[in-house]
Amino acid sequence: MSPWAHNSPSQHLPQSLYELSSRLAAPGSRSLTLERYSSSSHHIQVSRGTVTFSERSDGTSREGTHRRPSGMVTPARAPLHSDYYKPSKVRSSAGDRKLRALPPEILIQVFEMLFDDHNSALLSKEQALRALNRSIQMLSRCCLVSRLWYSAARGVLYTRRLVLCNIKTARLLLRTLQGNTGSPYPVRHLCFCYQNPYDAVGEQTFAQIVTRIVSLCPELWCLEAEWGPLEFPFLASLPVFQSLQWLRVTSQYLDLLAPLLPHLPNLTRLNIIYLIADSSRPGREMRRIAPPTFRLKTLQLSQAELTLSQYQWLLASSSHSLEYLELQQLSRSADLLGRTIGRAVSSLHVKGPADSPRKGDPDLVDALPHFPKLKSLRVSGYGWQWQKLFYNIAADLRSLAVTYSRDAAEILVVALANPKWQPGLRTVTAFHYAGGGNEVGRSLDAQLEYACSKRAINLFRVPGGTIM
């Protein structure tokens, strides 16, 4: 016997909506009121183990409730082919047609609830992946209900983060995008991660497919490329990506990535890990490419060593807009970067080398005088030249954060004793604070607290964590 009440309009639900309601009968509570016409409305109430649909029309009210019987598998975890999902064998009715014709914006909100399972912090990585696959299967079935449902479900499917890790999946997506004859697929977030970096031929083939995929996704919001170079020809017919605001790349060649950058006028966040200046391929001179015009607000740069002219080409347009800068292992080019954009930065985070983040980086210490307008500085790692670092700060800081260590605390106490050193400082944060420990540690902690209180500086201690 069907778990749906016989007098309910919900017994006429199409199979996909019936399955959808079963999926929503999971822990948590959600409610949507649907008013498409002034003369009628639908109400969907979802609570733990129960899904209720109600309909009001011509002064009458009908309701239906779906309850999960005791001992039955949770619908959110049950397989789609389970008998539990089989709908009642009843004829289609006006209620059925009304539910099929829900407004697109309401359908999108309901479909998006399907992805709540794999976002739970209580799930392991494998459980989250299985939940994600179930959600995709459900949305694929919803695409078969009607054209309206197809449009809404497709939008939810393609606006999620799409990860491509091999040539086969990349070709499938490319074929889908090329075969579209209607409105373009709303692809918003692409991530490319080639799984076999030692296959040079396969990597080049993957890069060529990726280039074609990107050119067919003009509505991108975010683009990621990890361990597989993006390669854009000089004369590539790329669209202007007006909506793309975040670019995150790892292990890239600047001259191969450069043709894409002028097509990102509204990019505000750039994250680069391991950037190689030159691929040594003939005909890839940077001077042949127009410099980008984006105005970055956030730049995270790690393991890059560019020339002054390359930094100027890449970041000249952001020399007055950059607000937050995160630097790690730039070797001698740290000084060149500071000369290019140092005057625009108000918040700076410096890290130790990538292979030993607990150590300090003398090249970043030497570059600090190029940042005269800093208001916030964070230093991650222990083995820094603390005395030189503190006195190389040319700006009048408002906030200073360091990784707590005995050496850092001792030198900071001495620096704070000088009233002319950082007179505008208002906050000191000690990350990875492990407590006073022995008598020497407690005494040093007390000295630091006294030095801060004497200058009316707020001292915050943040325990534990990983060096970041």
List, run by run, the mean pLDDT of 10-residue segments along the chain (468 residues). 36 45 45 35 48 48 47 36 37 55 78 66 69 78 81 80 86 86 80 79 86 91 83 78 95 88 96 85 72 96 91 93 94 93 94 83 94 95 92 95 91 94 95 68 88 94 66
pLDDT at residue 288 in the model = 80
pLDDT at residue 305 in the model = 85
Report the distance separating Cα 419 and Cα 388, nearest Å.
Answer: 18
Q: Is residue 135 part of a domain?
A: yes
pLDDT at residue 435 in the model = 60
Q: Is residue 146 part of a domain?
A: no
pLDDT at residue 61 in the model = 47
Q: Is residue 90 part of a domain?
A: yes
Q: Is residue 223 part of a domain?
A: no
Report the distance separating Cα 108 and Cα 184, nearest Å.
Answer: 18
Chain-centre distance for alpha carbon 273: 16
Q: Is residue 86 part of a domain?
A: yes
User: Which residues constitute the domain of residue 50?
Assistant: 9-140
Q: Is residue 94 part of a domain?
A: yes
How is residue 58 annotated by DSSP?
T
Which of 232, 328, 204, 337 is CA-nearest to residue 274? 328
Number of domains in the chain: 1
Q: Is residue 209 part of a domain?
A: no
Beta strands in 89-238 (DSSP E): 161-164, 189-193, 222-226
Q: Is residue 256 part of a domain?
A: no
- Cβ neighbours for 271, distance < 8 A, ≥ 6 positions apart: 246, 247, 248, 249, 299, 300
